Structure 1
Amino acid sequence: MRVQHLKYGLCGIAGAVAAYVYQQTEESFRKNIPFRVSAFAGAKTTNQSFSAEEASPSVKWDFNWDRRDPKFLVKPKKNETDDDLANRIMEVKPKASRHLFLIRHGQYVVGPTDEERFLTPLGREQAKLTGQRLKELGFDYNLVLRSTMTRATETAMIIQDVLGETKTKSCDLIREGAPIKPEPPVSHWKPEVYQFYQDGARIEAAFRKYFHRADATQEYDTYEVIVCHANVIRYCVCRALQLPPEAWLRISLHNGSITWLEIKPSGNVVLRGLGDVGHMPRNKMSTS
């Protein structure tokens, strides 16, 4: 009997030790995680409050990401009052949003040169369906900006035929390329290092040129269509949302898809749609 009691006692001690070790390990694990899991791991009950550190974001939004934050555009004058400075800041503050519709070109023939990489019959159908969808949205489009590569130019021309008379512009900056080494890396796509160095600077320049808040003189929202390529669109979306740009290859885009970004007067950016192909029947969809 004494032996049996001793056995039960040892089992109880072992259980208590195991529970303590588990608790300490769990606590250590939580502390080593880079983002704060305590807010949703059941660590606190409803009558317990969170600290300011736990409630604050791990990364804050950079409101001067486009270098157009009004506070940084106005230089204070000597002996200027706070009210006068505030009034001058208001004069350069945007009042309207910019809406950018990023369109990936239609399916194309894989040829040795750009001139031979023209749209397939399916690609032309995709471009027409995308143009019809843009028209159905009912916006007054201010510009159709297109890449100078053959497949993007053809796609833009078909879209313009559907939209009607719209201002057009071509740009070499938004040609396809290798924007930055993706993370995680992939085995099926490995450009030479010089391609990232060469294309990355160009695509970043395109982002800085076309992705920014409206000028203070703009009274109403504008709607611009940018017809280009999957790598360019994915990279620019990551940059606009202030996400790690190396994440761009984690996104997949269909041919003729519509990605809709809104850049608000405050500098906030809203992704209203990513790679939308809801306007296409299933048998018209492709990613190549």
Structure 2
Amino acid sequence: MGVFSRVVKTTVPLGVAAHTAYSYKDEIAVDGIYGIAAPFTQLSYQLNAFVSSASNSSTTFDSAFPRGQWNDNWDFRAPMSLVDEKKYSKEKDEEKEQMIKEATATATRTIVLIRHGQYELDKKPYALTQLGRVQAVLVGKRLAEWHEKKRNIDEVTMSTMTRTTETANLILRRLAPQPPRSSDSLIEEGTPYPPEPALADWRPRAKEFFSEGSRIESAFRKHIHRASPKQKKGSTEVILCHGNVIRYFICRALQFPPEGWLRMSVAHSSITVMNIHPDGNVKIMSVGDMGHLPAEKISFA
């Protein structure tokens, strides 16, 4: 499946590698999921040839346990990406060291991703069901305990879709003092990336991946990154959004192949937590945690 069928211990830019995932089966209908493959076919062939060649070397590739290198500058916020290169090149060693120090993050961001509650599937504006409202209250109670006993939630960002706004409002009522809130249309639900394996009963048209995927990728770049060097203490930020968005964010944050986002599932009103450390390392603390929901209150679709 393109370059992601094998992983080479060599740096390949994420943007380039991501394009190759579109190089699926050209024989499938042009207006289907895979119709977008054509523009990237030549690039895919070149990269596949490179991967195949490199994989023959035992010093760069282990066929039984393929592995790739972590890109420390995945968010383009490593210190050298933030300094003025021209000014840096002209300074003495002591000044260079100070410039790097001032551009180095020192705080850890904790990102809490929450999926909205169950909603009406067949009736716009797709508002929460009664069960969805109960789920929102339950996750709100859990966040309130965190807010009161562990550390404050610094900010809440919500999708602009009805079901997410309703979930956020039910949660915010239980947080005291209430943290700053904002809405963001970038984190609305959508189709982030052509999945592999594909689903027989869910086949969006290629243009949906092209437009919505770019929007969700923009949301990732906006919200998922290490702290600013100006941030002096750790933060906890809640993002209320959607299942597809959360699953895509997980793959991207861990530098996993993005086409694998559909291989996991997160329940309504579940909690996914990631820590982004000052050096850019990312740790997923939980995925789709639903321990606050009784068994009879759990739902997915």
TM-score (norm 1): 0.79
- For each residue in 1:178-230, what CA deviation from the matched residue of structure 2 results, as whole angstroms up to 9, or x when unmatched? 00100111112111111111100100000000011111111111111101100
The correspondence for 2:174, drawn from 137, 159, 162, is 162
Shift of 1:246: 0.5
The answer to whether structure 1 residue 191 and structure 2 residue 204 are counterparts is yes
- For each residue in 1:151-190, what CA deviation from the matched residue of structure 2 results, as whole angstroms up to 9, or x when unmatched? 0000000010111312110010000000010011111211
Runs ≥4 residues deviating over 2 A: 33-36, 51-58, 76-84
Structure 1 pair 34/208, CA: closer, same or farther in 2 (3 Å)?
Answer: closer
The correspondence for 1:150, drawn from 148, 162, 171, is 162
In structure 2, distance between residues paired with 1:224 and 1:78: 36
In structure 1, distance between residues paired with 2:238 and 2:130: 22
The correspondence for 2:112, drawn from 87, 101, 116, is 101
Equivalent positions of 1:79-158 (< 5 A) are: 79-113=90-124, 115=125, 117-137=126-146, 138-158=150-170
Question: How many residues in Structure 1 have an aligned counterpart in Structure 2?
Answer: 240
RMSD: 2.0
Shift of 1:57: 7.4
Identity %: 45
The answer to whether structure 1 residue 182 and structure 2 residue 195 are counterparts is yes
The correspondence for 2:260, drawn from 220, 243, 247, is 247
In structure 2, distance between residues paired with 1:250 and 1:106: 21
In structure 2, distance between residues paired with 1:185 and 1:54: 28
In structure 1, distance between residues paired with 2:292 and 2:89: 57
Letter paired with 2:167:
T
Letter paired with 2:136:
A
Conserved? CA contact 2:6–2:66, under 8 Å: no
In structure 2, distance between residues paired with 1:72 and 1:166: 31
Letter paired with 1:245:
P
Which of 1 and 2 has greater Rg? 1
Structure 1 pair 78/146, CA: closer, same or farther in 2 (3 Å)?
Answer: closer
Aligned residue number for residue 18 of structure 1: none
Aligned residue number for residue 249 of structure 2: 236
In structure 2, distance between residues paired with 1:77 and 1:129: 52
Q: What 5-or-longer segments of structure 2 have no aligned partner?
A: 9-57
Structure 1 pair 245/82, CA: closer, same or farther in 2 (3 Å)?
Answer: same
Shift of 1:34: 5.4
Letter paired with 2:119:
Y
In structure 2, distance between residues paired with 1:235 and 1:192: 18
- For each residue in 1:8-42, what CA deviation from the matched residue of structure 2 results, as whole angstroms up to 9, or x when unmatched? xxxxxxxxxxxxxxxxxxxxxxxxx9579xxxxxx
